[in-house]
């Protein structure tokens, strides 16, 4: 199952993506994340692995592809989720597209379809928090 959402952030493209991928800044806008640690590879390069630390769990994050300032693709093995972030600058603002691809077995697919609106709401809340952080910093 895929979810694709689009946002406009009133900051230049390069500033937007460089802020988005900075692991030291992520906890400032994604409040439920306590820390993001590089655990393998070179920061912000293909195959770099991170650990996102929440108060109740840790999630691994792997960069599948990176093309700064246009795109970065993350994979979350435990969540069976791949997230593509695309950035396109225009007149001092950024068009930001996020596509979340849930790789779930057929028997769990109906569960994700039923929860689609909740998943969209969660993604929208996260990206709105990032947008607010960018536009108010």
3-state SS track over the chain: CEEEEEEEECCCHHHHHHHHCCCCCHHHHCCCEEEEEEEECCCCCCCCEEEEEECCCEEEEEEEEEECCCEEEEEEHHHCEEEEEEEEEECCEEEEEEEEEECCCHHHHHHHHHCHHHHHHHHHHHHHHHHHHHHHC
- Phi first, then psi: give them for residue 45, nearest 5 degrees: -125, 160
- pLDDT confidence of residue 106: 85
- What Cα–Cα distance (Å) separates residue 29 from each residue in 61, 125, 132? 18, 11, 8
pLDDT in tens, 78-105: 999 999 999 999 889 999 999 999 998 8
pLDDT in tens, 103-129: 988 888 888 888 999 999 999 999 999
Which residues constitute the domain of residue 64?
2-136
**pTM flag (> 0.85):** yes
How would you class 40 by CB atoms within 10 Å of its CB: exposed for 0-12, middle for 13-18, buried for 19 or more?
exposed
Tally the domains of the chain. Answer: 1
pLDDT in tens, 8-51: 999 999 999 999 999 999 999 999 999 999 999 999 999 999 99
- pLDDT confidence of residue 109: 84
Q: What is the CATH number of the domain that holds 52?
A: 3.30.530.20
Mean pLDDT of 70-80: 96
- pLDDT confidence of residue 2: 95
- pLDDT confidence of residue 24: 94
Mean pLDDT of 65-73: 95
Sheet containing 49-54: give its strands across: 2-9, 93-102, 81-90, 71-76, 58-67, 49-54, 33-40
């Amino acid at each position: 199952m895929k979810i694709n959402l689009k946002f406009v952030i009133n900051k230049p493209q390069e500033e937007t993506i460089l802020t988005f991928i900075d692991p030291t800044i992520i906890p400032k806008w994604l409040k439920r994340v306590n820390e993001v640690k590089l655990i393998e590879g070179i920061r912000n390069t293909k195959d770099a692995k991170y650990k996102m630390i929440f108060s109740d769990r840790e999630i691994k994050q792997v960069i599948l592809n990176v093309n700064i300032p246009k795109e970065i693709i993350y994979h979350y093995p435990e969540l069976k989720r791949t997230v593509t972030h695309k950035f396109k600058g225009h007149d001092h603002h950024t068009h930001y597209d996020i596509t979340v691809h849930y790789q779930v077995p057929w028997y769990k697919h109906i569960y994700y379809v039923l929860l689609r609106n909740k998943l969209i709401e969660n993604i929208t809340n996260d990206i709105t928090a990032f947008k607010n952080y960018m536009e108010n910093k």
